Chain A
Amino acid sequence: MNLTLKIWRQKNANDKGKMVDYKISDVSPDMSFLEMLDVLNEQLINSGDEPVAFDHDCREGICGMCSLYINGEAHGPDRGVTTCQLHMRMFKDGDTIYIEPFRAKAFPVIKDLVVDRSAFDRIQHAGGFISVNTSGNTIDANAIPVNKQDADTAFEAATCIGCGACVASCKNSSAMLFVGAKVSQFALLPQGQVEATDRVLNMVKQMDEEGFGNCTNTGACEVECPKGISLENIARMNREYLKASFKG
């Protein structure tokens, strides 16, 4: 496959940045998208140019590190996959592919396609945890009975890998699918009840302070989420938040 790539290049956080065109040839349809970028970078290094900076880690679709807004969609045109699992067979010979960083005020660009997603970490620090006594009297989690349906729904919420595709896809750069999933995974379990009120209030407060937009229920986040996190999690977070606000 021969392709034209239009890639966002930005030297650093303060640089204005621009789209730059690259030609790449002999791309195998069996390559992953990131492997295609590896080939491009080899080509750039050999010609003495600066390689394109992009995030990646496990390349198995589980770490949430890879990002990229490809041809107008987070993680590209395939469904239920991260960029590392997107294959070049999704494109046609001669295609022009736009590759941009995830865009949000709360996800500032560090370099080229690399964005700072530490806003998600700060939201997690604000309440995305449970406090467990580890002094030696820890109760075995399996000793607390949990309804099977609740356990499954909590597990589904917990599969969120925090990649930020929800924010990138949302026209408002809203982080509510991410926060909804993190609130839900604890709200559904007895272990999460002790800190339930503070958790949702603190996480939503931190989300608002980070500068994410508000959810208008377009549903784009759910469609683009590589883990299929459902909008039901946002509704559950709304309920938890309202309950906590009226209570406290």
Chain B
Amino acid sequence: MSGILNSSIGRKFAMALSALFLMFFLLQHFAINILSVFSPDAFNEASHFMGTFWAVQFILQPILIIGIVFHFTMGIILELKNRKARQVKYAKNNGNANSSWMSRNMIWTGLLIEAFLIVHMSQLWWHEMMVKYINPVTEDPTRYYPELVEHFQSPVIVGIYVVAFVFLALHLLHGFNSAFQSIGANNKYTKSLKGISKVYSIGIPVGFIFIALYHHLAH
């Protein structure tokens, strides 16, 4: 058991567990955001709950941040180690003949998503930290919807959103199935899982893009 994180398979397993956790979080984030399209009140209620419930704020939020930092750091460590494993490159390499572009470029799509997360968190999450803990203001449970609408009025922000979620879709198109393979789940259900993977990997990012465009165009 000791030293499992020093082994190639142990690291792969840890990477996959953090990925599965982040994918679950993304689904929950989407479920709340999509409420803003159908019901501003429901969106306000859900956001207020997430923003004020102690277990979300002080247990789940730190776990999420650790999950993101771990996935990002481990991804870079593994990439650097993998690059060392082939010191002389091929003069001609036909990667498209045997693997998808997404699978070979996880590091680049991952880094772009990370760059987006830094922008995203500095704009929205940091604002939440300010009004809740640094310069506390009286909580208005109806503030979330107008703040969201205002956020998406900027065409630059919407543009960044669209590009980031396209890269997220590319990352997920390989990452979703890859996470299951890494935890050893390759069996009779794998074919069905590939279908679910496509629905999730395209559906969720397209859904986020739709929310951004909807608020940009509707208001």
A residues sitting closer than 8 Å to B (CB atoms) are 6, 8, 17, 19, 69, 71-73, 77, 98, 100, 103-106, 169, 171-174, 176, 204-205, 207-208, 211-220, 223-224, 231-232, 234-239, 241-242, 245-246, 248
B153 beta carbon closer than 8 Å to chain A: no
A246 touches B86 (CB 8 A): no
Q: Mark B95-122, 1 if CB is under 8 A from A, else 0.
A: 1011110011010000000000000000
B residues sitting closer than 8 Å to A (CB atoms) are 1, 4, 7-13, 78, 81-82, 84-95, 97-100, 103-104, 106, 174, 177-178, 181-187
> How far is it, in angstroms, between the C-alpha of A17 and the C-alpha of B97 when the chains are bound?
26
Give the shortest distance, in Å, between B53 (CB) and chain A (any CB).
Answer: 34
Neighbouring B residues of A100 by C-beta, 8 Å:
90-92
A241 touches B182 (CB 8 A): no
Quick one: given A72-B92, A105-B87, A238-B13, are A232 and B1 in contact (CB under 8 Å)?
no
A103 touches B103 (CB 8 A): no
B184 touches A215 (CB 8 A): no
> How far is it, in angstroms, between the C-alpha of A71 and the C-alpha of B90 when the chains are bound?
10
Neighbouring B residues of A6 by C-beta, 8 Å:
91-92
Give the shortest distance, in Å, between B73 (CB) and chain A (any CB).
Answer: 15
Given A103-B88, A204-B8, A245-B4, output 14 extra A-B contacts at Cβ < 8 Å. Answer: A8-B91, A105-B85, A105-B86, A171-B95, A205-B7, A212-B85, A213-B82, A214-B81, A215-B182, A217-B181, A224-B98, A231-B181, A238-B183, A245-B10
B98 touches A223 (CB 8 A): yes
Neighbouring B residues of A105 by C-beta, 8 Å:
84-87
Contact pick for A106, options B85, B177, B184, CB 8 Å: B85
A98 touches B92 (CB 8 A): yes
> How far is it, in angstroms, between the C-alpha of A236 and the C-alpha of B181 when the chains are bound?
9
> How far is it, in angstroms, between the C-alpha of A169 and the C-alpha of B95 when the chains are bound?
8
B90 touches A214 (CB 8 A): no
B98 touches A172 (CB 8 A): no
The 6 closest A-B pairs by CB, nearest first: A72-B94, A213-B85, A235-B186, A239-B184, A172-B82, A223-B98
Quick one: given A72-B90, A238-B9, are A216 and B106 in contact (CB under 8 Å)?
yes
14 A-B residue pairs with Cβ-Cβ distance under 8 Å, sorted by A, are: A105-B86, A105-B87, A171-B104, A173-B82, A176-B8, A204-B9, A207-B8, A208-B8, A211-B84, A213-B84, A217-B174, A231-B181, A235-B181, A236-B184
Neighbouring A residues of B87 by C-beta, 8 Å:
105
> How far is it, in angstroms, between the C-alpha of A105 and the C-alpha of B86 when the chains are bound?
5
Neighbouring B residues of A235 by C-beta, 8 Å:
181, 184-187
